[in-house]
A and B are shown apart, each in its own frame.
Chain A
C-alpha cells in the first residue's frame, strides 16, 4: 500500500508537502486575519514573470534564481500598486488586480521563450514529484524561518492582527511585523509554486485557516492548527494521488476544499 514510498521522488514530495503544508497553513492565518486573501493570490501570479525573467537572464532554474526573480517582481508589483492606487483614482484591490493579471500575462509570454525543459503546466499547477534535493533544502530553510518568526513574536502577531493601532499603542513593532509578513509571504509562495503551482498556491494559504476558523476560539490555536491541517492534508494527498494516479497539487487543494465544506456544516456555531 505504501510501496510508492520506496521511490526517492515520492519521499522528497512527502517531506516537502509536510513542511510547505505546515508553514503555508500557519502563515495563512496571518493572511486571512489581516484580510489579505486577495493580496496573496495577486502576489502568487505576479511572481511568475519575475521568475521567468530571472531564468532568461541567468539561463536556468535554481531555487536561488527563482527566489531572486520572485522577490524582484513582488517588489515591483507591490510598489506599482501603491503608485497606481494613488495616481489612478482607484482602490488598492482594483489596482492590484490590474497589475497582477498583466504581470501574469507577461510571464506567460516569457515562458514560451525559456530555455530547457520548463513546462508551462509545471508553473501553473506545480510539479511536486519533480523536486530535487536542492529544492528540498529551500523548503527546509523557508519553513524553519516561518515557524521561528511566528513563534518569536507570538503575542505581537496576535495584537498586530487584531487591531494594529491598539498593537502600536502597546509597543508592538507593527511596521516591522508588516514588512516581515510580506517578506515571509513571498518566500512561502516561491516554495509552494513547485508544489501546487501559481494558480492554486493561494489556496494552500487560505483554505486551512478558513476551515479552522470554523472550529477554534483563539488566534494561537488557529495558527498552529491551520499548519497541522495543511501538513496532514498534504501527506494524505500524496498517498491519494499515488493510489488513484491523479495530480498531487489539485488533489491537495480539493481535499482541503472538502475539509472546509464539511467543517462549515458540522462545526458547532454560536
Chain B
C-alpha cells in the first residue's frame, strides 16, 4: 500500500492525453543513505509544477532521477507509459546556471544546436530542418540578436533563456529546471515566470525546483512538496497550506500568504 493515493491531474485539459509523466512509489538511495522515498504522482502536459522543500529535501535528486541521471532507484518512473531511458528527446534537464562554464567555447546558437543531439546522435548529418528548429527556438526566446554572443558575455537571465531555447530545440515535452530563478534580478525573474506560464499553456510540462516561497501561487499551478519523502502533491490552491508547509519545512517559521 502506498501511503499516498495517486493523484491524477491534467487529464481533462491536456491537449494530448498520452503525454503523462508517472512516478510510482519511487525510492532513491545513495549508498546506505535514503535520499528520497515514497514519491508517487502523475501529471500530464500543460502544467507548471513547483518542487518545494528545504536544502537536502530531495528536490534536485527527484529531477535528476526523472532526467535519467540516477541509476539506483526502486519504484517506477515512466513517460507516456515508456521507461524514461527511452524518452531522451522528450525530457530536457536544465541544471543551475552556475554549473555551466561561461568560458566554454560556445555561442548562444552553438548551445542551442546541442539540443539536436537526441535526434541526430553523435554522427548524424545536420539537416536543413535542424537549422530551422534551432532558429525557431532562438526566435521564440527573443535571442536572435544574441545568437552570436559567447556564453561569458551573457547575463544570468540570458543564459537561462539560452538553456530553455536548447530544450525547445530538443523538442522536449518535459522541462526539468533546477533553481532557475537563483541569482537573477527582478526583471529577469518576471520574464522567466511569464515564459513558464506561456510554455505550460502551449502544452509543455515544467518541473521546477524552487526554494523561495513568496511567489509560489503565482508561479505554479501545481506543487509537489518534499521532505526526504513526498509530503503533498496537488493543485496549488488545495495543497499549498500552512499544515503542509509545516511538514515540508519543520522547525522553520514559514511566513507566506497562502
Q: A217 touching B150 by the CB < 8 A rule?
A: yes
Taking A168-B68, A270-B153 as contacts, is the C-beta distance between A163 and B95 under 8 angstroms?
yes
Q: Which residues of A contact B107 (CB under 8 A)?
A: 217-218
Q: A155 touching B123 by the CB < 8 A rule?
A: yes
The yes or no answer to B99 lying at the interface (CB within 8 A) is yes
Q: A222 touching B64 by the CB < 8 A rule?
A: no
B99-127 at interface with A (beta carbon < 8 Å): 99-101, 104-107, 110-111, 114, 117-118, 120-124
> How many residues belonging to A are interface residues under a CB distance threshold of 8 Å?
26
Q: A172 touching B117 by the CB < 8 A rule?
A: yes
The yes or no answer to A240 lying at the interface (CB within 8 A) is no
Q: A155 touching B117 by the CB < 8 A rule?
A: yes
Taking A154-B123, A159-B114 as contacts, is the C-beta distance between A171 and B69 under 8 angstroms?
no
A157-195 at interface with B (beta carbon < 8 Å): 158-159, 161-163, 165-166, 168-172
Q: Of B92, B101, B104, B110, which is within 8 A of A169 by CB?
A: B92
Q: Which residues of B contact A171 (CB under 8 A)?
A: 68, 88, 117-118
Q: B117 touching A159 by the CB < 8 A rule?
A: yes
Shortest Cβ distance from residue A227 to the other chain B in the assembled complex, whole angstroms: 15
Q: B69 touching A169 by the CB < 8 A rule?
A: yes
The CA-CA distance from A253 to B101 in the complex, in Å, is 28
Question: Closest residue of chain A to B66, judged by CB?
Answer: A169
> How many residues belonging to B are interface residues under a CB distance threshold of 8 Å?
31
The yes or no answer to B67 lying at the interface (CB within 8 A) is yes
Shortest Cβ distance from residue A80 to the other chain B in the assembled complex, whole angstroms: 22
Q: Which residues of B contact A165 (CB under 8 A)?
A: 64, 67, 69, 93, 95, 99
The yes or no answer to B14 lying at the interface (CB within 8 A) is no
Q: B93 touching A166 by the CB < 8 A rule?
A: yes
Q: B88 touching A166 by the CB < 8 A rule?
A: no
The yes or no answer to B248 lying at the interface (CB within 8 A) is no
The CA-CA distance from A48 to B156 in the complex, in Å, is 45
The CA-CA distance from A170 to B94 in the complex, in Å, is 11
Q: Which residues of A contact B99 (CB under 8 A)?
A: 163, 165
Most chain B beta carbons < 10 A, residue from A152, A162, A166, A219? A166
The yes or no answer to B170 lying at the interface (CB within 8 A) is yes
The yes or no answer to A261 lying at the interface (CB within 8 A) is no
The CA-CA distance from A213 to B103 in the complex, in Å, is 9
Mask, B14-38, CB within 8 Å of A = 1, is: 0000000000000000000000000
Q: Which residues of B contact A222 (CB under 8 A)?
A: 105
The yes or no answer to B216 lying at the interface (CB within 8 A) is no
Shortest Cβ distance from residue B7 to the other chain A in the assembled complex, whole angstroms: 26
Q: B93 touching A218 by the CB < 8 A rule?
A: no
Q: A219 touching B93 by the CB < 8 A rule?
A: no
Shortest Cβ distance from residue B36 to the other chain A in the assembled complex, whole angstroms: 17
The yes or no answer to A33 lying at the interface (CB within 8 A) is yes
Question: Closest residue of chain B to A177, judged by CB?
Answer: B122
Shortest Cβ distance from residue B192 to the other chain A in the assembled complex, whole angstroms: 19
Q: B122 touching A155 by the CB < 8 A rule?
A: yes
Question: Closest residue of chain B to A151, judged by CB?
Answer: B123
The yes or no answer to A109 lying at the interface (CB within 8 A) is no
The CA-CA distance from A107 to B167 in the complex, in Å, is 50
Q: A162 touching B104 by the CB < 8 A rule?
A: yes
Closest 9 CB pairs of A and B: A169-B93, A171-B88, A169-B67, A156-B122, A153-B122, A170-B117, A155-B122, A170-B118, A222-B105
Can you identify 27 A-B contacts, CB atoms within 8 angstroms?
A: A152-B123, A153-B122, A154-B122, A158-B114, A159-B114, A162-B101, A162-B106, A162-B114, A165-B69, A166-B94, A166-B114, A168-B69, A169-B68, A169-B88, A169-B91, A169-B92, A170-B88, A170-B89, A170-B118, A171-B118, A217-B150, A218-B106, A219-B104, A219-B105, A221-B105, A222-B105, A270-B153
Q: Which residues of B contact A (CB under 8 A)?
A: 64, 67-69, 88-89, 91-95, 99-101, 104-107, 110-111, 114, 117-118, 120-124, 150, 153, 170
Q: Can you name 18 extra interface pairs (CB under 8 A) apart from A155-B120, A219-B110?
A: A155-B121, A162-B106, A162-B111, A163-B95, A163-B99, A165-B93, A165-B95, A165-B99, A168-B69, A169-B68, A169-B88, A169-B92, A170-B88, A217-B150, A218-B105, A219-B106, A222-B105, A270-B153
